[in-house]
Amino acid sequence: MSAIRLEPLNLAWVLGAMLRREMSVALRQKGEVLTPLVFFVVVASLFPLGVGPESALLLRMAPGVLWVSALLAAMLSLQRLFSADYADGSLEQMVLSGTPLALLVAVKALSHFLLSGLPLVLMAPVLGLQFGLDARALGILVLTLLLGTPTLSLIGSIGAALTLGVRGAGVLLALLVLPLFIPVLIFGAGAVEADAAGLGFGGHLSLLAALLVLSVFFAPLATATALRISLE
C-alpha cells in the first residue's frame, strides 16, 4: 500500500524536477526567451504604422492582427522544443525512462507556454491599446489568449516531434502546424469581434476551452508516438 501511495508522489517529483530544469535551461539563454516577445511587439506595432491613423479600421482589425502576431511568435521557438534533447541524447533517455513519455511531453509543452505563450498574453493588452481597444475588449482578448496559447504549444509539439532531425525542419514545421492552428485563430479573434458586434463571445470561449481539453488529452500521446518514430 505504501508503494502505491509513493508512486504518484515520485511521478509528481520527477515531472516537477523536469519543469524546473526546462525553465532554468531556457532562462540561461535569454535571447531565445525574448525573441518571440520582441517579434510579437514588432509585428503588431507595424500594422498601425502601415495602415494609418484611421481609428475605426484599426479597431476592426485589432483582434486578427494581435492573434496572428501571437500565433507566429509562439511558433518561433517550437523547433527548439526537442532539438537540444535530441542532440545531446537526453531524448533517448526520456523515452527509455520509467516515466510515461506523454507526461514528459506535456511538461515540455507547459514550459513552452510559460516561456513563450504567457509573455505574449501579458503583453497583448499593452499592444491592444495602440489599436484603440477598450478595457472590455482587452479582457476578452487576454482570456482568449490564455485559452488558446497553451493549445498552440500542445499542437505545436506534435509538429516539432514529427520534424525532429529533418533538414529544413523550420519550414516543414510551419507547413504542418499552421493548418492545425486555424481553428484556434478563428475562435480567438472571433470572440473579440463577436462581442464588438453585440453577438456575445461565450460560444467562442467554449470552443477554445474544448480545443484546449482535447489537446491536453490527445496531443501528448500523439507527440510521444511521433518522438518514438523519429528516434527509430
Note the pLDDT tens digit of each residue in 75-117.
Answer: 888 888 888 788 777 788 888 877 888 888 999 999 999 988 8
Cα–Cα nearest to 81, from 184, 17, 187, 177: 177
How far from 226 is each of 49, 60, 230, CA to CA, in Å? 42, 40, 6
pLDDT of residue 3: 36
Q: Is the pLDDT of residue 144 over 90?
A: yes
Distance, CA of 60 to CA of 113 (rounded, Å) = 28
Note the pLDDT tens digit of each residue in 33-73.
Answer: 788 889 999 998 888 887 777 778 888 888 889 999 999 99
Say what percent of the chain tops pLDDT 90: 36
> Cell 527509430, residue?
232
121, 69 Cβ separation under 8 angstroms: no
Q: Is the pLDDT of residue 7 over 70?
A: no
Q: Is the pLDDT of residue 8 over 70?
A: no
Q: Is the pLDDT of residue 222 over 90?
A: yes
Average pLDDT over residues 176-199: 89
Q: Is the pLDDT of residue 218 over 90?
A: yes
Distance, CA of 185 to CA of 84 (rounded, Å) = 29
pLDDT band at 2 (very low <50, low <70, confident <90, very high): very low
Q: Is the pLDDT of residue 5 over 70?
A: no
Q: CA torsion 94→99→105→107, rounded to 10°?
A: -110
Q: Which residue has the higher pLDDT, 83 or 143?
A: 143
- Range with the largest mean pLDDT of 4-18, 189-203, 209-223: 209-223
Distance, CA of 181 to CA of 134 (rounded, Å) = 27
- For 199, half-sphere exposure in the C-beta direction (CA atoms, 13 angstrom radius) is 10
Distance, CA of 50 to CA of 71 (rounded, Å) = 20
Q: Which residue segment(s) compose the domain that 199 sits in?
A: 2-231
Cα–Cα nearest to 185, from 76, 70, 48: 70
Burial 14-39 (b: 16+ CB within 10 A, else e): bbeebbeebeeebeeeeebbeebbeb
pLDDT of residue 49: 81
Distance, CA of 64 to CA of 80 (rounded, Å) = 27
pLDDT of residue 223: 92
What is the count of structural domains for the chain? 1
Instruction: Supply the mean pLDDT for the chain.
Output: 85
SS3 156: helix
Q: Which residue has the higher pLDDT, 41 or 164?
A: 41
